[in-house]
Amino acid sequence: MTTSNKRDYYDVLGIPRDSSEEEIKKAFRKLALEFHPDRNRSDGAEARFKEVNEAYQVLSDSRKRADYDRFGHSAVGANGGRGFEGFENFGGFGDIFDAFFGGGVGSQQASANAARRGNDIQTRVAVSFEEAVFGAEKNIEITRVDVCSRCRGSRSEPESDTVTCNNCNGSGQVRRSHQGFFGQFVQVTPCSVCHGEGFTITNPCSRCAGAGRERRARKLAVKIPAGIDDGVQIKLSREGEAGLNGGIPGDLYVALNVRAHEVFRRSGTDILLSLPVSVSQATLGARVDVPTLEGTEELFIPPGTQPGDTFSLKNKGVPHLGSNQRGSQIVTVDVKIPTSLDRDQRQLFAALSESMGETDVGGGNKGIFDKFKDVFTGE
């Protein structure tokens, strides 16, 4: 209803504009009792009840009433007083009255024997670097709450009968009359004898003590997809704990811990390798065998290769999840400087250094200093 079509709130409650707070409240209570849908089943009663509540919400609030008196419906917007503001999450008119007056009008309670979904559970599985890259199938064992293997969830000993609750006659609910502000109302509550189930168990299952569920170990096969990374969880639907009263089981989440590799590291879908090469290999160039997860691959190290230079081996990395594409293996050159030389080797290095004008024979960096003398001294 637009603001232009709304009735004047004072006319809705049937009161003059100078009515006191007590007169507003009295008029509201009278009309609310008259048009409450639990008492008035005629057409239009529900709409009239909403209208009465909306008017009361505005006129019972001194600030809203002052704005309304000055500006009319435009002051409170198209939704007016929102007669049910603060009660949007309640189930119906009975719940609204229960909140207003503590009555419990037609309040509906969830049945204790309603089906409920089981809990989700989590476990961790360690896999090797290779298993994470290429995929695998792992056998795991978990302990979970499962349907009782003896009573199959009935909670009674096999071939035993349950007894209908005499207190609620099997309904699981008890209806009590309640004298509220608007008169007599009916309050519905779970039966205190059967706890809302509608029946009692005379011979509880000896295995689960009448719970209908038990904790037991279960072995499962988990498929590890190729390309999975550390910390990723795999969801196994309905492999969690058993539900209650026939509810569906929860889910099992398998968190993966990928063990580190002695040689390789991973960055996304690329595999990283630090490759040691000698000074002569880096200087003169060489063909070397590079280890991969699938064996060895020949790699050409060009002359003059510097420490930290990288080379890429295509399609030797990690598969993209759900794809046939693979990343690369990134090889980083690590030039190893010899730490001990015999006499002949020292002489060879000294001769090479001298021939290149890098240093004086016997050590020192005089040759380099002379070469860059103008830089160091500013001359």
CATH code: domain of residue 62: 1.10.287.110
Integer CA distances (angstroms), 48 to 29, 94, 178, in order: 13, 16, 25
Same domain, 254 and 270: no
pLDDT grade for 374, boundaries at 50, 70 and 90 = low
| pLDDT at position 101 over 70 | no
Among 40, 66, 85, identify where a domain stops.
Answer: 85
Give a yes or no: residue 13 inside a domain.
yes
User: Would you put residue 371 in left (φ > 0), alpha (ψ -120 to 50) or beta?
Assistant: alpha
User: Do residues 152 and 60 share a domain?
Assistant: no
The residue among 273, 282, 286 whose CA lies nearest residue 312 is: 273
Query: pLDDT value at position 62?
Result: 87
Shared-domain flag, residues 248 and 282: no
Q: Look at residue 353 in the predicted model and tell me its pLDDT.
A: 82
The reply to whether 283 and 313 lie within a common domain is yes
- Residues of the chain with pLDDT > 90, as a percent, come to 48
What is the pLDDT at residue 3? 59
Does 332 share its domain with 244? no
Q: In total, how many domains does the chain have? A: 4
Instruction: Give pLDDT, residue 180.
Output: 54
Q: Which of 202, 234, 258 is the last residue of a domain?
A: 258
Query: Which residue range is the domain that position 130 belongs to?
Result: 121-157+212-258
pTM of the model: 0.57
Closest CA to 134 of 309, 324, 314: 324
**Shared-domain flag, residues 316 and 357:** no
**347 and 275, same domain (yes or no):** no
17-31, 94-108, 258-272, 327-341: segment of lowest average pLDDT: 94-108
Question: Domain check: are 9 and 77 in the same one?
Answer: yes
| 231/286 same-domain check | no
Q: How far is CA 257 from CA 234, 260, 266, 340, in A?
A: 12, 9, 14, 42
Of 85, 113, 146, the one marking the end of a domain is 85
